[in-house]
Structure 1
Amino acid sequence: MADQLPASEWTQREDLALLVAALGADDMRWVGGCVRDTLLGIEPADIDCATVHRPGTVIDKCRAAGIRTVPTGIDHGTITALLDGGPVEVTTLRRDVSTDGRRATVAFADEWREDAARRDFTINALYAHPETLELEDYFGGLADLEARRVRFIGDARERIREDHLRILRYFRFQARFGDALDDEAIAACQELAGTLKGLSRERVAMELLAILALPDPVPTVQLMERLGVLAVILPEARRNEMVCLIALVASEKAQGHSPDAIRRLAALLPPIPTIAEAVAARLRLSKMQRARLVCAAERKPADCDAPHALAYREGSECAIDRLLLAGAETAAVREWAIPELPLKGGEIVARGVGKGPEVARILRAVESRWIDEHFPDRARVETLLAEELGQRSASDDEASA
C-alpha cells in the first residue's frame, strides 16, 4: 500500500484549500473515512480533519478566512466548517480521560499518535498531510487495509469496554472492508455482546440499520446470530426469518431494487404487526419507519394475487415491500400511477342520500367493486353507483312493505 494518499477530486477542491490555508497545512491532517476510502478507490461520503488547534482558535481562524462554522460538538472538540463543497468536521486532537461504555470524557492532546490511539480500528486511524498527502500510520492500518482485515487498535476487549457500540461498528466495518475474520475481535464481540443492552436504543438502531443497508448484509447478520449478538439487539429474529432475509436480498438484486434497511428489518421479524410495533418502539424508529415496518408485517399470501389492489390500499412503497418479502415480481406496481376513485361523497348526497354513515357505506361499496374490476373508468363507476343505489332502494321498499 502506498505511503502517500493518491490525488483525487476531493483533495484538489478549492474550498478545502481555503480551509487548509486558514488552519495551516502542518497543523491539520485529513483523517478517518476520507483517507481510508480514497486508498480503496471509493468516493468518500464525508471529509474530516484533525487539528492541533483548540476549538476557539479554529472558529477564529475560519472566521478570519471568511469560513462559517457551527459548534456541532464543541464540548468534544468538534467544529463544522461550512464550505461550498459540503461541511467538514474539524476536531481538535483528543485523548480519553475516562470511559463508561457509553460515553467518554476527553481532554485535548498535542500529539497525532495520542489522537490515533483513541480511535476504534487501525484502518480508521490513518492521517494524510493536506498538501504533501503523505500518510501517517501509527498502528498498522495500511497493512490491515491491504489485507482487508478489520482490527481493533490495542486490546479488543478494552476498546469495547470503552464504547460498547464498537461491537456493532466492528460488524459493519467487517462487512464493508473485511475478508478474513480477526479472531481476537470475534472473541471479544462474543464475550461482551451483553454490554449492548446498556446502550441507548437510538445508537443501536443507527448501527443495525446501517448494517442492513449494506449491499449484502446476510453473512454479517448470520455471524452476529452465531455469536449471540443479534439475540441481544433483536431477540425477535429467528432462523426462519434469516431465510427470509436471504431470499429478500436475492429478490431485491434480481429486480433492481436498492438495498433498504427497514424492508430488511421486516424480513428478520415474524409477520406479526404487534411484534413490529414493539420493535419499532424499542428502536425509537421514526413514524414513517414504524408505519412501513408494521405494514410489511401485515403481509399475507393474497398480496401476490392482486398487486394493484395492494398498492391502492397500502401505497406503492408498502406494496413493493410486501411483494419483495413474498418473493414476487414488483413490476406491476413499480411504475404504476395509483388512480383516484372518480366519485365523491357529495355526488351520492346529490342522488338523494342523506348525509351520514350511509353515504360512506355506499362509497366504500362502490370503491370495493371498482378495485375488484381493476379500476375501470368514470362511466363504469357511475353504473356501479346506480346499482348500489338501486339495491338500497329495493331494500328500503322491502322494509316498508
Structure 2
Amino acid sequence: MLQNLEIADWPRRDGLRALTAALGAEHIRWVGGAVRDTLIGMAVHDVDCATIHPPARVMDLCAEAGIRTVPTGIDHGTVTAILADGPVEVTTLRRDVTTDGRRATVAFASDWREDAARRDFTINALYAHPETLEISDYFGGLDDLAARRVRFIGNPRDRIAEDHLRILRYYRFQARFGAELDAGAEEACASLASTLKGLSRERIASELLGLLALPGPQPTVARMHKAGVLGVILPEACAPQIAALARLIAAETEQGFPPVALRRLAALLPPSADVAEGVAARLRLSKVQRARLISAAERIGSDAEAAQALAYHLGRDWAADRLLLLGADARAIKDWEPPTFPLKGGAIVARGVAAGPAVARLLQTIERRWVAEGFPDDARIEAMLTDELARH
C-alpha cells in the first residue's frame, strides 16, 4: 500500500515554500524521485521541480524573490535554485524534437502530460501539486509503484531508441524498486543490448556503479549476464564472477559491512591487477577509484589471518575489500583504528647510530616486527630496538 505525501516533511520546507511563492503554485509541480520515494516509504534526499516557465523566466522570478539560481543545464531547460534547505533543480516542461540514442534535442512545452510522455518509466512520471499534494499520474505509475513494477512509458523499444542508457537505468531501477518483472522491458533490453556500445564510458560507469551500490543487486546482475547486456559493458564478467559477486554480498551481509560499488565491481573481474587497470581506464574511473579497484584485484596472496596487519599497510577500507573478496573474516578491522608507529629516528640516533640509511633500515625492520607481533607497547619496541642494535 502506498503512503500519502502528506506524511512527508519535505513539502513543508521553508525553501520549497519560498520557491512555490516565487514561481506560482499553479505553474510548478514536484516530480520524480521525491514523489516516488515518499509514496513507498523511502527517505528523500533531493527534490526536483517541473515548471511551465521558461528558464529565463524562472531566473527572473527567483531573483525578484531573493532566491539565487545557477544555470546548471539551461540548454535543456534546467536551472538550480539555491535554497537554505538544499538545492532544487527546476526544469521547464519539454518535448523531444530529435533523439539519436545518446542525446536529445528538446523544445520547451507547456503541457504536463507531454512532459511526462518523454520520461523513462511510469514511476518517474508522477507530478505533485506543491500545495494540495494532489498527484497527476498520466501513465499508471501509481499502480506500477504499488506492484513494485518498473515499466517503460509506451513501447520499451521506442523509449530505448531515444536513449540507449535506459537499458541500464531499467536494471538499476528494477533492482531498487522492482518485485514484478515486466516481460516487454526485459525482452527489449536484451535485444537492444548492443546499442550500449555507442554510449560514453562515463555514463555506463555511473549506472553500473549505481546498480552495484544497491543492497542486493546480484539477481539483477545475473539477469543482465544471461540477457547479454552485461557482456556488452563488462565482458570480463563471466559466470564464475557472477557467483563471486553473490559470495561477496553474502559475506558483507553476514559481517555487517555496507555495500561498496568498487568492491563489488572487483568481484565481477578476475583477480588480476592488469585486468582491473584496463577496466578502470575503459570506464574512465577517477584516480582514487582506479587505485582501489586495482588493490582489490590484487587480493590473491593477502593474509586472511593478519587482518589488522593488512589494514595497517593498506588502510581499513582497502583491506576489507581484499578480505571480503577472499571470503575471510574482516570483522576484526571493521571499527579498528590502525595505530601510529611510535618509534622515531631520533630515538635510534640517541642510541648511537649515525643519522642516515642505517636509521631508516632499522625503523623499517622494527616496524615490520611490531606489526607482525600485533602492535605491542613501547616497552616491547624498546626491546626490539635493543635486539636489532645488538644484532647489527
Question: Which TM-score bucket, shorter chain as reference?
Answer: over 0.9
- Following superposition, the deviation at residue 286 of structure 1 comes to 1.9
What stretches of structure 2 of length at least 5 have no aligned partner?
Answer: none
Q: Deviations over 1:300-357 (max 9, x none)?
A: 3552111121111111111111222222222221222212222223444454544544
- Cross-structure match for 2:35: 35
Aligned to 1:129: 129
User: For residues 13 and 146 of structure 2, what CA distance do their matches in structure 1 show?
Assistant: 27
Q: Give distance in 1, aligned partners of 2:187 and 2:230.
A: 15
Q: Which runs of 5+ in 1 are unaligned?
A: 393-401
CA contact (8 A) 2:3 2:40 kept: no
The answer to whether the Cα contact below 8 Å between 1:6 and 1:38 also exists between their aligned partners in 2 is no
Aligned counterpart, 1:112: 112
**Deviation string, structure 1 residues 146-205 (Cα, Å, up to 9, x no partner):** 222111111111111111110000001111121221111111111111111111111111
Question: In structure 1, what is the Cα distance between the partners aligned to 2:251 and 2:2?
Answer: 39
Give the match for residue 266 of structure 1: 266
Inter-partner Cα distance in structure 1 for 2:17 and 2:373? 64
What CA RMSD, in Å, does the superposition of the two structures yield over aligned residues?
A: 1.8
Q: In the comparison of the two structures, how many residue pairs are matched?
A: 392
Shift of 1:224: 0.7
Amino acid at match of 2:65: A
Determine if contact 1:216/1:249 at 8 Å carries over to the other structure: yes
Larger Rg over CA atoms? 1
What is the deviation of 1:7?
4.4
Per-residue displacement from partner, 1:92-142 (whole Å, max 9, x unpaired)? 010111111111111101111111111001111111111122221111212
Separation of aligned partners in 1, 2:3 and 2:285: 43
Whether the 8 Å CA contact 2:302–2:323 is kept in 1: the answer is no
Equivalents in 1 of 2:137, 2:379: separation in Å? Answer: 74
Closer, same or farther: CA 43–342 of 1 in aligned 2, 3 Å: closer
TM-score (norm 1): 0.93
Distance in 1 (CA, whole Å) between partners of 2:319 and 2:210 is 23
Range moving further from structure 2, 326-335 or 198-207: 326-335
Other-structure match for 1:319: 319
Question: 2 CA distance for matches of 1:384 and 1:2?
Answer: 66
CA drift at 1:4? 7.4
Alpha carbons of structure 1 residues 41 and 302: separation in structure 2 relative to 1, 3 Å: closer
- Correspondences of 1:51-70 after superposition (within 5 Å): 51-70=51-70
Query: 1:382 aligned to 2:382?
Result: yes
Matches within 5 A, 1:1-400: 5-300=5-300, 302-392=302-392
Query: What secondary structure, in the 3-state scheme, does the structure 1 residue paired with 2:87 have?
Result: strand
Q: Percent identity?
A: 65
Flag the 1:252–1:105 CA change in 2: closer, same or farther, 3 A. same
Shift of 1:60: 0.8
Cα distance change, pair 4–26 in 1 and its aligned pair in 2 (3 A): farther
Structure 1 residue runs of 4+, over 6 Å off?
1-4
Give the SS at the match of 1:127: strand
Given the two structures, how large is their TM-score scaled by the length of structure 2? Answer: 0.95
Structure 2 Cα separation of the partners of residues 389 and 325 of structure 1: 40
* C-alpha displacement of 1:54: 0.6
State the AA in 2 paired with 1:189. Answer: C
In structure 2, give the amino acid aligned to 1:139.
Answer: F
